Amino acid sequence: MNKLSWHKRPFALVLAIAIASPALAQGGGETEVRLRKVEAEVAALQRAVFPGGDGRFFPQMQPGQQSGNAPGSPASAPTADLLARMDALESQVARLTAQVEEDHNRIEKLESRLTALESSKASSAAPSVVESNTAAMTSAALPAPKPAPAPALSKPAPTKPKVAADPSAKRIAAVRAIEKPKTDDPGDDEYSYGFRLWEAKFYPEAQQQLKLFLQKYPKHPRTSWARNLLGRAYLDDKNVHEAAGWFLQNYKTEPKGDRAPDSLLFLAGSMRQLDDTKRGCVALKQFAADYPKEAAGRLKTQYDATRSGLKCN
């Protein structure tokens, strides 16, 4: 039996009671058998509707239950006894019917709420039109000179480093002489070690170290600094294309990051070195629009020099 099919049974029992009623006045064995059968069905249905119900609140009909007469009192007439049992049956059927209707309405409400909840989840998962348009405008305003590489230590840089594949013992000793910081922030130690390598002009080693930092600590507060410094390490290593890709990636990934203004300004300078004045001017105008405080303050000297070199209209 499924969850809702049994709610139709009380109406069948009412019909059975109605058919059996004309014969009650006659009494007899046949009527008693039929009445006991109806009582058994009502009891079974009652156990299905109220499984494990407490008898204090949901008294269950027992087949063939006789009306209680005090000892010594005269027995009631058979017809009166049958009518009393029929009254009890009708009362039980009415109660069961009301309970079934109540459960049916509750199930319908639950199904409606589940449908609405699934619809709301499906609509929230779809990307908004505003986000799609914003991403398209950013790509159109600042086209990348080439796709930026994913920071990964296992993949070498696509360009040939100036250092030989088998570095000399002198260079290895010089790199090992640079001390790696050891503080309570291991992520900052990795970034600081990359900065020290770049500062010592070990550009390929600095590039590998900064990529290692980005791979191990993608959510660290120094990520904006690391991507910008990685672009500068490539720029100082005369790999302008690679540098431009990292500058653009840093600006687009964290436009409000600590070194996003620097990366956008370095991107404009990289485009100037590549003789791409159009894209350089786009980056320069974007810098002036997004970071007016830096253009008039911390980065004013670099901004003025880049603007004079590009000669934008």
Domain residue spans of the chain: 1-50+83-95, 148-310
CA distance 17 to 59: 20
Mean pLDDT of 223-233: 97
CA distance 246 to 147: 9
Read off the pLDDT of residues 290-305 as tens digits, 9 standing for 90 and up. 999 999 999 999 999 9
**What are phi and psi for residue 237, nearest 5 degrees?**
-90, 10
Highest average pLDDT, of 61-65, 145-149, 157-161, 283-287, comes from 283-287
Read off the pLDDT of residues 189-211 as tens digits, 9 standing for 90 and up. 999 999 999 999 999 999 999 99
pLDDT band at 12 (very low <50, low <70, confident <90, very high): low
Q: Assess whether pLDDT exceeds 50 at residue 148.
A: no
Model pLDDT, residue 277: 93
CA distance 300 to 302: 6
Q: Are 306 and 270 in contact (CB under 8 A)?
A: no
Label residues 118-130 b or e (16+ Cβ within 10 Å = b).
eeeeeeeeeeeee
Instruction: Tell me which of 3.30.70.260, 3.40.1710.10, 1.25.40.10, 3.40.50.300 is the CATH number of domain 148-310.
Output: 1.25.40.10
Average pLDDT taken over every residue of the chain: 75
Model pLDDT, residue 88: 75
Percentage, residues of the chain above pLDDT 90: 44
Model pLDDT, residue 312: 87
pTM assigned to the model: 0.49
H/E segment holding residue 158:
none
